[in-house]
Amino acid sequence: MKEGIHPQYGDATITCACGNVIHTRSTKPEMQVNTCSACHPYFTGQKTMVDTEGRVDMFKKRYAKFAGAQKK
């Protein structure tokens, strides 16, 4: 590696808007984020992926004709 061209890599603190603090290592000593794994609905279980309107089925039906053309 060349000397003097790489940024300093050291301890870093990531602070979330919810108040969660994560200690890690980075080239930036401090970072602020809007969401983290402690407050994001996907990770907390408050939000689940539900296909309530049948969007996957609508997609498959709409593009089924193209899937047959690719197999030839």
Residue 1 above 80 pLDDT? no
pLDDT, tens digit (0-9, with 9 covering 90-100), for 3-57: 889 999 999 999 999 999 999 999 999 999 998 888 877 777 766 666 667 778 8
pTM for the whole structure? 0.54
Contact (CB, 8 A) for 13 and 29? yes
Whole-number Å distance between alpha carbons of 36 and 22? 9
- CB proximity list for 43: less than 8 A, separation 6 or greater: 37
Q: Which domains does the chain have, with CATH numbers?
A: 10-70 (4.10.80.400)
Provide the token pair at 48. Answer: 């689940």
Whole-number Å distance between alpha carbons of 63 and 1? 50
Rounded to the nearest 5 degrees, what angle is found at the Cα of 55, between the Cα atoms of 52 and 58? 135
